[in-house]
Chains A and B, each alone.
Chain A
Amino acid sequence: DIVMTQSPDSLALSLGERATINCKSSQSVLYRSNNKNYLAWYQQKPGQPPKLLIYWASTRESGVPDRFSGSGSGTDFTLTINTLQAEDVALYYCHQYYTTPYTFGQGTMLEIK
């Protein structure tokens, strides 16, 4: 199974700061035939299901603010949230859909200081 490890487990920042969340997979999730990383990021707020933010490691889902960006390839990935807003307080998960069993990171809790 591909193990997804996120860091940090939690993050407390001030409004307007930049948040950086890392995700490492135990094996590459880069599909060489199309050069796409099968890696997505989700945001989950209390009492709600997760919401897709980023897929293919760096493609923003329609309607997601451009302060959210993703980067990385192979086994190392980053979700960056620029100019932190109050509404960004949530749990964030990375997810590999390269192969079954599909797996998620353990989650990173983002809070406002």
Chain B
Amino acid sequence: KAGVTQTPRYLIKTRGQQVTLSCSPISGHRSVSWYQQTPGQGLQFLFEYFSETQRNKGNFPGRFSGRQFSNSRSEMNVSTLELGDSALYLCASSIERGGGNEQFFGPGTRLTVL
């Protein structure tokens, strides 16, 4: 069974631009979560989608948004990029919602903002 895939793997943007990252969950998984990883702040939860609805949101500004499609694939968008948005963005999928369900992580998209 294929794992979680994220595209693109690497991205370079300039301040003020916007970016869209894509995540394809493991087949049959309905929950997709996004995390930001930076050296200073560590791993932080962005949001979770389940059945095309955002179910949970972390403490990030409104410039960060996402959506989920009917096939469970998810995208996240960051508008008006800032230098501080440079990070590794990780997507994770799980079969169902639930604190005990294992989340499977993709390899991440490394975003560099110049």
Co-assembled chains A and B: no
